[in-house]
Amino acid sequence: MKKFNKNFMLGSATAAHQVEGNNIYNDCWVEENLKHSLYDEPSLDAVDHYNRYKEDIRLLKESGLNTYRFSIEWSRIQSERDLWNHKEIEHYRDVINCCLDNGITPIVTMFHFSSPKWLISMGGWENPEVISLFAEYCRRVVSELGDIMEYVCTINEANMRMFISEILKTIGAKQDAQVGINLDSSNADAAGIEASEAFGLKFPEQPHTFVSPCTPEGDIIVMKAHEAARDAMKAECPHLKIGITLTVHNVIAVDGGEENAHAEWDTEFLHYLPYIQHDDFLGVQCYTRKRFNKKGLMPYAEGVPLTQMGYEECPEAVAGAVRDIAKNFKGDIIVTENGIATADDHVRSHFIEKATDGIKECIDDGIPVKGYIYWSLLDNFEWQKGYSMTFGLIGVDRKTQTRYPKESLYELGSFI
C-alpha cells in the first residue's frame, strides 16, 4: 500500500469539552445539568484528558502518528469577562510542549463549540461584541504561547450554526431552547424557560450558544470573529499558520439534481469564500455525503450501512468534498476531521483505509492536502448523545479512566 510522505500531517483530534472533564464555566456544562436537559447525560469528568494528556499523546506518538489536533477551552482561560486565568494558559503550554517533546505537531483550535457562560448571558453568538471578545481571547493566548505554536484553527465548524438553522427549517420545528436540535417539543416551553433563566435571560429570549440556530447576520458574525481573531493573532505572531474549519458533505447531484445540489453547496461552503481568502489553510471536516435529485435531498437507499450516528457510512465522501472545495479554494487544505462512530473496529479500519486512499489520490492529482486528522483520538463525550458514540482510536473505561488502544490506531499510524 502506498504511504503518505513524511512531511504529511497524519494524526488524530480531540476537543476540550469532549475530553478534558469539569469544564464548569461553559454553556454546555450549564445545559447538561438542567432538569429538562437535551443532553442524554452530563460530561462530568469526561475522559480526564486534562490530567491524562501525557499518556494520550504518548499513545498517539507510539502508533506512528505525527500530529495532534486539540482545542483550548475559552471558559478556562477567561472564566469571567474580567478574569483571565494564567494558570490555565500554563496548562496548555504544557500540552503543547508535551507534543513537541514527542515530535508531534500540535494543531491548536481556539474554539470548539463550548463558550464561556458569561458570553452567552450577553447575547452569545448573535451579539456582534463577540467579534472583538473572541479576537482578544485569541490574541492573549498567542501572546503567551505563540512562540511554541505553528498551526491554529480559529473556529471549529464555523458553519455549524447555519446547519442547525437549516435542519430546523426543514423539519419546521420550533426554535430550540438549548444546544442542538430538539425534535421533541412536548416540554419545549418548560425547557425554554429553564434555559433562559440559567443564563440570566428573559424568556422567551433563548441562549445563542454556538450550537443553536443562527440568523443570517449571526452566520456572518462568526466569520467576522474568525477574521478579527486571525488578524489579531497574525499581528502578534506573524509566523502562525491560521485557518478556520468548516463541516461539509460530499454533495452529489443525481438525475437532474444539479440546481438543488448547487444551492446546498452554496449554503455549506461557497458563501463563506470571501472570509477565508486570506487564510493560510482551510480545515475540511466531512463525515458523509448528501445526494440531491430534482425533488431535493434523497433518502438513503434501502439497506445502506449507517454509522452509530444514523448517517450513511461513506468513506469516499471526504475525498469528494476535498475535490469540490479545491475548485474554489486555492490554498492548502488540511482534513481536520473525518471518522466513523462504530462499535466494530474492523469497520473503522476499513473506513480509514478507504478515506485515506481517496486523500492520496487527491494529492496525486495536485490538490494541496497537507494533513489528515482522524476524529477522534479517544472515545469521548459526543455532545447531546453523551458517551454512547464510539469514534475513538482509543477506548476508555470511564470508571477507571484506563485507556485501551484499538487496532485502528496502529493501522492509521502505519500509513506514514
Determine the size of the site formed for ligand BGC (CB under 6 A).
9
User: What cell numbers appear for 218 in the block?
Assistant: 449571526
Residues in region 118-177 near ligand BGC by CB under 6 A: 156-157
Site string for ligand BGC, 270-309 (x = CB under 6 A): ---------------x------------------------
Q: 77: closest CA among 23, 131, 37? A: 23
- What's the rounded Cα separation, in Å, for the pair 70 and 78? 18
* Shortest distance in whole angstroms from residue 159 CB to ligand BGC: 10
Question: Which residues face 284 on adjacent strands?
Answer: 246, 335
In terms of CB distance, is 27 or 382 closer to ligand BGC?
382
In terms of CB distance, is 21 or 192 closer to ligand BGC?
21
Residues in region 5-34 near ligand BGC by CB under 6 A: 15, 18
* Shortest distance in whole angstroms from residue 50 CB to ligand BGC: 17
- What's the rounded Cα separation, in Å, for the pair 92 and 94? 5
Site string for ligand BGC, 207-246 (x = CB under 6 A): ----------------------------------------
The residue from 372, 375, 387, 415 that contacts ligand BGC (CB under 6 A) is 375
* Phi, then psi, of 244 in degrees rounded to 5: -120, 165
User: What cell numbers appear for 331 in the block?
Assistant: 490554498
Quote the DSSP letter at residue 310.
S
Residues in region 382-411 near ligand BGC by CB under 6 A: 382
* Shortest distance in whole angstroms from residue 180 CB to ligand BGC: 11
In terms of CB distance, is 153 or 326 closer to ligand BGC?
153
- On whether the CB atoms of residues 149 and 108 are closer than 8 A, the answer is yes
- On whether the CB atoms of residues 57 and 102 are closer than 8 A, the answer is yes
In terms of CB distance, is 160 or 225 closer to ligand BGC?
160
* Shortest distance in whole angstroms from residue 339 CB to ligand BGC: 7
Question: Roughly how many angstroms between the first and final C-alpha of the chain, as a whole number?
Answer: 11
DSSP assignment of 238-287, as one string?
TT-EEEEEEEEEEEEE-SS-HHHHHHHHHHHTGGGHHHHTT-SEEEEEEE
- What's the rounded Cα separation, in Å, for the pair 291 and 300? 9
**Strand 281-293 with 296-297, pairing:** antiparallel
In terms of CB distance, is 119 or 377 closer to ligand BGC?
377
User: What cell numbers appear for 308 in the block?
Assistant: 452509530
In terms of CB distance, is 15 or 191 closer to ligand BGC?
15
In terms of CB distance, is 164 or 201 closer to ligand BGC?
164
The residue from 154, 209, 247, 408 that contacts ligand BGC (CB under 6 A) is 247
Site string for ligand BGC, 321-350 (x = CB under 6 A): ----------------x-------------
* Shortest distance in whole angstroms from residue 383 CB to ligand BGC: 6
* Shortest distance in whole angstroms from residue 157 CB to ligand BGC: 5
In terms of CB distance, is 156 or 209 closer to ligand BGC?
156
Q: 43: closest CA among 391, 412, 401, 385? A: 385
| Rg of the chain in Å (alpha carbons) | 20
Q: 176: closest CA among 53, 366, 66, 38? A: 38
Query: Which residues would be at the binding site for ligand BGC (CB under 6 A)?
Result: 15, 18, 156-157, 247, 285, 337, 375, 382
